[in-house]
Structure formats: structure tokens, C-alpha cells
Amino acid sequence: MRYADFVSFTYTSLRAQRLRTALTALGIAVGIAAVILLTSIGEGLHRFIIDEFTQFGTNIIGVSPGRIQTHGAPLGAVNTVRPLTIDDALALRRAPYVQAVVPVIQGNAEITHTGRSRRVTLYGVGAEFAAAFRMRVALGKFLPEDDPRTPRAFAVLGSKAAMELFGDNNPLGDRIRVGGERYRVVGVMQAKGQVLGFDLDDTVFIPVGRALEMFNRESLMEIDVTYEPTAPLAEVEEGIKRILSARHGSEDYTVTPQQKMLEVFGTVLDAVTFAVAAIGGISLVVGGVGILTILTIAVAERTSEIGLLRAVGATRRGILMLFLGEAALLAALGGTAGLLLGWGAALALHLLVPALPVHTPWSYAVLAELVALCVGLAAGVLPARRAAHLDPLEALRSE
């Protein structure tokens, strides 16, 4: 049988039962649409979270004091955690591949200007902070490269803090009080918005040396190190550990490359996407059962036709292929409809609820389509085999 005739014959059989075909295909369509819609949301969520984390760059390694370790060490063992200091940060500049080293301390402080005051998040940072985290300055400059141990009293305001204190006035050069001390405003950051619930605009940035004094702390909260994007991560990590361990005498700090964090996130989020795809897959299986049912009925109804086809020369394999072809065509029709349906729904959802991140991964769509075909073929196997194994004579007699 020629390929075109084969397709046309199966198509004619499906068309002869339009309503039945449409309803059966709908079962598959709903399954595919569910898979596509759910994976679209899953993938959208994935991208959203990864974007949130990577907007500061991906080639960042965080170093924090203290070691994450198993508890239950013998009592009396001395827990010696040395603080991470500005000197540690300066020393890390010598590590291989390192581009910028940013000591960070964070806290809350009240800032005042001409009688207006506001409690904001205070960041004590190094001068390379803005560049390292890809934050832009809207007005003026970021903190200058002073000696980090004795920096001048300069402050940079977040956009919201600047707006609240100064309104539309230019704050550059004005003096403000931060936690009771006098600072001069040298810059205002561009608005950044909220990142995972943290408002990065209601902030003030001051030199880290002054922040340590203000909070009366010895240790930095974190040292963020950026490295050349093409550098091998393991060597960068190794270099940092070598310098810090030499200075501290032991590894009493934790090194967390953001890439590793992202990998963990990625794994978790991939699992989420896969899980929702599997939920959609269940409806696909239900659609497959629909095909199985309809084809079983079709074989019973068309027994005498099968007998005739065998009498005029169709082989068993030919009959098998005809019914498998019908199953596959049904599934493919449903799959295509489901693709449009799911994609349309994802698009509509995106337009109606712009806050909800939706992204249709086409690899999943293609995969869903293939799965639909396989479901169709699998569902077709039993009825098609039954049709193929009918005795032609018996089949002809049934009327």
C-alpha cells in the first residue's frame, strides 16, 4: 500500500466518525494542553528565580565566617572561629583570577536630613561593590577607593531613600546623618526594585570600615569575590581557600560559589517542572485510554470490513498498520490541537496575569507531541492486534 493511500484511508476512517474522532482527540488535546500549560508555568518560574539570582552576575563567590559542620563534636573542643576582616578582604585581591573583592556588612540604621528621618537598610561595602554587583549609579559616583581602614565619611543613597529624604532636590554634596554620624552624599543609585522580597532601593551605602565601627563589630558578614567569567571555578575557589587558610590557620569559613547555588536551584526547579509535566502526563494517559476504547469499538464495528480487506488482499500486518495508523493520527490530531490550546492558554495567562512568569519550553512541547504519538500507538496496539488476528472468514460472516 502506498504511503499517501495509507494516510488517506486512515483519514477517511476517522472522518467518517467525526464526533467520535473529535471527542477522542479532545482527550489527548486536553492532556497535551495540560502538559504544555503546566510546564510553561514551571519553566517561567524557573527562569524568574534564576533571573532574580543572576541579575548581580553569576561569577561571584561568597565567603562567610564560620564553618558549616556536623554537630556533636566532643564537649570542650574549642570552637575557634576567627572573624573575617577587612585585611582578609585585601589579602584576597591576590588570589588568582580575582577581579573584585567586596567586603560586606549589612544592618539597619536611621538616616536623617533636615528634620526628616527614615530607617533604612544599611550596607557597609567596599568601593567595588557597584561594579561587582552590576548596580548602576544614577547621580554622582559610588563610594571612592579610599584606604578601607580609614575611609572618608561618604554615603550613597538608594533611589527610594533619596526620594524620601530629598524629594526632587539634588542630594549630591548634602550632609546627612547615618546612625548619628555625619556623612556627605556622593551618589544616588538607580532604582533596582525588590529582589526576593528585599527592597534594594530603601538603602544607604557607606564604607565598610565605618559600618564595622558603627555596629561595633569585628567581623564582616561576607566577602564577595568576583572572578574572570572564563576562569576555572575550582582553581578560583582553591586560591581563595589557600590565602584564607594561611591567614586563619584553619578553614573556619565557608566558600559558596553562586554557580553551585544556581546548580542546586536549577536541579530543584527542573524537578518541579518535571513533576508538573508528569501531572499533565496523567491526563495524557487518560486520553490514551480514550483512544484504546474507541479503537476497540471500531474494530468490533468494522469486523466485516476487516474480513473484506483480508479477502481482497490485505495482509495481517497491513490491517495492524491501518489501525495503528488511525490511533497515531488520532493522537497526532489531538496533540496538535492540544499544542495550540496549551500555548494559547499560556499566552492568555501571560497577558491576563503579567506578574505570573510563563514561558513555553519548546523542547517540552515537542516532547509532549512525541509522547502523544507514543500514547496513541501504545493505545492502538491492542485493538490493532485484535483486528489483525481476526480470521478473515469469521470476520466476513459477522454482519
Partner 1 sequence: MIRLTGIARTFLVGGEEVHALKAVDLAIAHGEYLSIMGPSGSGKSTLLNIIGLLDRPDAGSYELDARNVTALSDDELARVRREKIGFVFQFFHLVPRLTAGQNIELPMVLAGIDPAERRTRLTRLLAEYGLEERAGHRPDQLSGGQCQRVAIARAMSMGPTVILADEPTGNLDRHTGQEVLSVLERVHHNGGTVVIVTHDPEIGARSHRRLRMLDGAVVADEKG
Positions in the binding site for partner 1 (CB under 8 A) = 1-2, 4-5, 9, 12-13, 15-16, 304-305, 307-318, 392-393, 396, 399
**For partner 1, the closer CB: 143 or 387:** 387
Q: How far apart are CA 220 and CA 61, in angstroms?
A: 15
Q: In sequence order, which residues have a C-beta less than 8 Å from that of residue 202 and are 6 or more positions away?
A: 118, 120, 121, 158, 160, 161, 164
**For partner 1, the closer CB: 307 or 380:** 307
> 3-state DSSP helix/strand/coil percent for the chain, to nearest 5?
55, 20, 25
**For partner 1, the closer CB: 359 or 385:** 385
- Strands 253-257 and 60-65, how do they pair? antiparallel
Least Å distance between CB 27 and partner 1?
23
Least Å distance between CB 337 and partner 1?
23
Which run of H or of E encompasses 351? helix 316-352
Q: How far apart are CA 219 and CA 252, in angstroms?
A: 13
Q: In sequence order, which residues have a C-beta less than 8 Å from that of residue 234 and are 6 or more positions away?
A: none
**For partner 1, the closer CB: 20 or 247:** 20
Query: CA 242, 244, 245: angle at the middle one, nearest 5?
Result: 65
Least Å distance between CB 319 and partner 1?
10
Number of H helices, E strands in the chain: 12, 12
Least Å distance between CB 323 and partner 1?
15
First to last CA, the chain: 26
How many CB atoms are closer than 10 A to CB 218?
11
Task: Locate 332 and state its grid cell.
Answer: 497526532
Least Å distance between CB 24 and partner 1?
17
Task: Locate 262 and state its grid cell.
Answer: 544556581
**For partner 1, the closer CB: 179 or 325:** 325
**For partner 1, the closer CB: 279 or 393:** 393
Least Å distance between CB 349 and partner 1?
40
Q: Are 49 and 276 in contact (CB under 8 A)?
A: no
Q: How far apart are CA 204 and CA 175, in angstroms?
A: 13
**SS3 (DSSP) at 194:** strand
Least Å distance between CB 324 and partner 1?
16
**For partner 1, the closer CB: 25 or 214:** 25
**For partner 1, the closer CB: 308 or 378:** 308
Least Å distance between CB 387 and partner 1?
14
**For partner 1, the closer CB: 71 or 317:** 317
The candidate with the shortest Cα–Cα distance to 140, out of 156, 151, 126, 125, is 156
Least Å distance between CB 380 and partner 1?
19
**SS3 (DSSP) at 256:** strand
